[in-house]
Structure 1
Amino acid sequence: MAAVDTTTGRPGAPAAGGDTPARGPRRAAGTPAGRLRLALSKHWYAWTLVAPVAIVIAVIVGYPLVQGIYLSTTNANDQNSEKQIGQFLHIPATYKSVGLGNYTDILFGANTTFWARLGWTVSWTVACVGISFLIGLALAIMLNRQVRFRALYRTLLILPWAVPAFVSTFSWRFIMNHDRGFLNHALQALGLPAVDWLNDPSIAQISVIIVNIWLSFPFVMVAVLGGLQSIPAELYEAAEMDGATPWQKFWYITLPALRPVSSTVILLSTIWTFNMFPVIFLLTNGGPGDSTQLLVTYAYNKAFTGMRQFGESSAWGVIILLILVVFAVFYRRSLRKQGEVW
């Protein structure tokens, strides 16, 4: 309690032993170091449980990432990299640093193919994610109703996602075969000409999009179906009592309620599709020519085919990572402006 000056009647300095709290510890707790110490002291058990996972992730993900960034600033290739031949012959690495030379060559070099590959990769991603989301949303709405054999339909529709991607891709490669494929046999049975699904550049691009959509829509369907089942039925009942049409209920109740689920699904689908390696590599191997070559498959070819360019391939990988990070940041900011914080 503060002391009172008997001559003026005004409060004076705090009395010794008073209950005014000290400001030093509170200020210390407001600093980043203080907040970290407070979090460690309060949640030390949780930090202990998380530490092994964090260490494993740092070793498995962090070390290759740092190594890749370092290699992207060098001229490392198959000839100047470290080699171990037999048990006794060891050839040390002789590659040198080139700074940002790999990045400037990729982005602004005279023979760069980056912008063409980026355009196709973005087109592929937008088409696959957009159509997969619409198909998954439509199927989820249908399966959310009380229909006969609903469990069987759910099981059948989730199979493309359950089957390993390389098995599905090889199956589609056989189905789209020009001479022995099921699709061309079906077209010829209907009196239509056969289609060169995998060897015509324009048709090959459509083919890989179809296959990736077939692999992707079950994930969207399952996620959206879970979101639909969490919407309270009372909202639809109240809207029906107010005379709302089915379209109005879908537009003003279903879509806003699905926004948290759909935003996460779109983000994950975009990242997976942007880096979708198996479909392109196993179905067309980037061909015919480079018509279906994505950024990630092009980076793979630089590192593992012909004269293997490890430094340039690492630079391609870093650029892909930066593109996805920038997209995720802007996408998250857009969601926060709409009130969706995750």
Structure 2
Amino acid sequence: MAVDTTTSQPTATAAGGDTPARGPRRTAGTPGRLRLALGKHWYAWTLVAPVVIVIAVLVGYPLVQGLYLSTTDANDKNSEKQIGDFLHIPASYKNVGLSNYTDILFGAHTNFWARLGWTVTWTVSCVAVSFVIGLTLAIMLNRKVRGRSVYRTLLILPWAVPAFVSTFSWRFIMNNDRGFLNHALQALGLPTFDWLNDPTMAQISVVMVNVWLAFPFVMVAVLGGLQSIPGELYEAAEMDGANAWQQFWNITLPALRPISSTVILLSTIWTFNMFPVIFLLTNGGPGDETQLLVTAAYQKAFTGLRQFGESSAWGVLILLILVVFAVVYRRSLRKQGEVW
């Protein structure tokens, strides 16, 4: 009788039975998976490729260049220059490691922590106030009121107008001598304020202007979330005797959590780096009272003896702060059961 040599190897059996136990499942490696994905979805990769290339050129390269410059002593004197058609001065800056970061964080004359404190205060104030205003207006516009479409259009205008146009308009309105705001207060018999030159009023003014620019985004996003909530939930709550506040607290807010969490994250990142409002309204003044981290980095790079290396280090620190915030914020949402 012939013996089948292909079964001469011992076969492992499962415990307590005669069925052979299955060995470890073999999976294709990462290169194999990548080739399979490229072969199966080549059209999708073809459509995405131009966007990836553009992002790599416009975002990736400047980011890498900024990281490199942050470890150098590059400034206006030792950078590469081209004077006319014949004189070329090569760059002479050198690598200094992490000294830019240590000077910014722990230097004797550093103002990083003061700027960070005001930036956090500014961000929290703007995001909180704009979210409350946007949520309130969204709830009002979600009801059937006469002229609702007109109100929606008018309330979106601050968001539609370019930020620099709105900021210049507010700068004129808040002018101490010729501004409309002080003239209106005088006409009402109320005290006037030096909106842009008094330290406290300047901080209040920049928050007001940024809230004016930010609340329409919150309103539009929240309004879309409100319209996706089934009306049957409110009808059932009314039958159970729930009042308007109970319906808002137990139905509206939980249903808006996915949208509101994303809105808060985006608003925080945008506000933290809101350069136009500060630069065009107060230019960081009076003194440094309204100076944000991003405007301080700009001044390092483009005023006086331009310090490109130190300014790049400021930019990297800003990026790290926002990345840490985004990671912590996302993890806290996951713990609460939110899904992104």
- Candidates 251, 254, 268, aligned match of 2:252: 254
Partner of 2:27: 28
Could you tell me how far 1:38 is from its partner in structure 2? 3.4
Task: Verify the 8 A CA contact 1:28 1:34 in the aligned structure 2.
Answer: no
Give the Cα–Cα distance (whole angstroms) in 2 for the partners of residues 253 and 37 of structure 1: 47
Q: Which residue of structure 2 lines up, in the alignment, with residue 47 of structure 1?
A: 45
Is this contact kept in 2: 1:201–1:291, CA < 8 A? yes
Q: Which of 322, 326, 340 pairs up with 2:324?
A: 326
CA distance in 2, matches of 1:181, 1:287: 18
- SS, match of residue 26 in structure 2: helix
Question: In 2, Cα distance between the equivalents of 1:142 and 1:297?
Answer: 37
Question: Contact 1:117/1:293 (CA < 8 Å) preserved in 2?
Answer: yes
User: Displacement of 1:23 after TM fit?
Assistant: 6.6
**1:66 and 2:64 correspond:** yes
Q: Deviation digits for residues 215-243 of structure 1, max 9, x if unmatched?
A: 00000000000000000111111111111
Partner of 2:15: none
| CA distance in 1 between partners of 2:282 and 2:201 (Å) | 11
Alignment of 1:177-188 (within 5 A): 177-188=175-186
> Please, which moves more after superposition, 188-197 or 128-137?
188-197
Q: Does 1:79 align with 2:61?
A: no
Distance in 1 between the 2:157 and 2:256 partners?
24
Q: Hey, what does 1:227 align to over in structure 2?
A: 225
> Contact between 1:198 and 1:288, CA under 8 Å: does it hold in 2?
yes
What's the C-alpha RMSD, in Å, of the aligned pairs? 1.9
Paired residue for 2:285, among 287, 312, 318? 287
Determine the structure 2 residue equivalent to 1:335: 333
Amino acid at match of 1:299: A
CA distance in 2, matches of 1:257, 1:232: 10
CA drift of 1:336 comes to 1.0
Asked if residue 176 in structure 1 is aligned to residue 163 in structure 2, the reply is no
In the TM superposition, what is the alpha-carbon distance from 1:114 to its structure 2 partner? 0.3
Gaps of 5+ in 1: 1-11, 15-19
Q: Name which of 181, 189, 204 aligns with 1:206.
A: 204
Matched with 2:3 is none
- 1:196 pairs, out of 191, 194, 197, with 194
CA deviations 1:234-267 (Å, max 9, x no partner) are 1111111111111111011100000111011000
Shift of 1:141: 0.1
C-alpha contact 1:73 1:101 (8 A) present in aligned 2:
yes
**CA distance in structure 2 between the partners assigned to 1:34 and 1:115 by the alignment:** 49
Residue 137 (1) aligns with residue 135 (2): yes
Shift of 1:192: 2.6
User: Residues 38 and 337 of structure 1: is their aligned pair in 2 closer, same or farther, counting only changes over 3 Å?
Assistant: farther
Per-residue deviation, 1:194: 2.1
CA distance in 2, matches of 1:293, 1:219: 25
Aligned to 1:94: 92
Distance 1:255 1:223 in 2: 14
Gapped regions of structure 2 (runs ≥ 5)? 1-9, 13-19
Deviation at 1:74, TM superposition (A): 0.3
Distance, in Å, in 2 between the alignment partners of 1:285 and 1:211 is 14
1:245 to 218, 232, 243: 243
- Report if aligned partners of 1:76, 1:311 keep a CA contact under 8 Å in 2: yes
Would you say how many aligned residue pairs link Structure 1 and Structure 2? 326
Deviation at 1:189, TM superposition (A): 1.4
How big is each residue's C-alpha offset from its partner over 1:313-338, in whole Å with a ceiling of 9 and x where there is no partner?
A: 00000000000000001111111111
* Structure 2 SS opposite 1:28: coil
Larger mean CA deviation between 40-49 and 274-283 belongs to: 40-49
Partner residue, 1:6:
none
Quote the offset at 1:13 in angstroms. Answer: 4.6
- The residue aligned with 1:17 is none
Query: What TM-score do you get using the length of structure 1 for normalisation?
Result: 0.92
1:124 alignment partner AA: W
Amino acid aligned to 1:235: L
C-alpha displacement of 1:49: 1.5
Aligned letter for 2:194?
D
Q: Distance in 2 between matches of 1:129 and 1:329?
A: 18
Match of residue 262 from structure 2: 264
- What is the distance in 2 between the residues matched to 1:303 and 1:167? 25
- How far the C-alpha of 1:269 sits from its partner, in A, is 0.2
